[in-house]
Amino acid sequence: MEAATSPSSAQAALTDLREPWIQACITRDWDALLSMCTDDIVFMPHGMPSVEGGQVRPWLEDFPTIKEMSWDVGVVEEAGDIAFARGPVRQTLVMDGETVVMDGKYCDLLRREADGTWRFAVIMWNQSTA
């Protein structure tokens, strides 16, 4: 799977990337997922240290199984070749044999690459409190 085509706006790119991202997470297709990311991607998961560089692939391999996932393209702000997006996220995960639903929020940073393609540079999320 190839990263999205090169929409002119980050909003359009996020709309195009949403379903491929979700499918890559559910099918654990980390190559597809990473094709939507910059080479220097940083994941900033809830309650954990940042994950980057050579730690990314092993961290993804150890990530809990995602049974379902949804996220809305909420607010997107763009300045030149950098954009950030934030909005709600919901994941149904299998953790220690238990199914867990996580409602949360995300704030991601995207960067437009030299070829015009928008890719995720920083992925950050946390769980909303009940």
Q: How far, in Å, CA of 22 to CA of 62, rounded?
A: 17
* Per-residue confidence (pLDDT) for residue 5, from 0 to 100: 43
Has domain 10-127 been given CATH number 3.10.450.50? yes
How many beta carbons lie within 10 A of that of residue 30, not counting itself? Answer: 16
Tens of pLDDT along 81-127?
999 999 999 999 999 999 999 999 999 999 999 999 999 999 999 99
Q: Taking the domains of the chain in order of start, what are their residue ranges?
A: 10-127
Q: Which of 5-9, 13-17, 119-123 has the lowest mean pLDDT?
A: 5-9
Average model confidence (pLDDT) across the chain: 91
Higher pLDDT, 130 or 25: 25
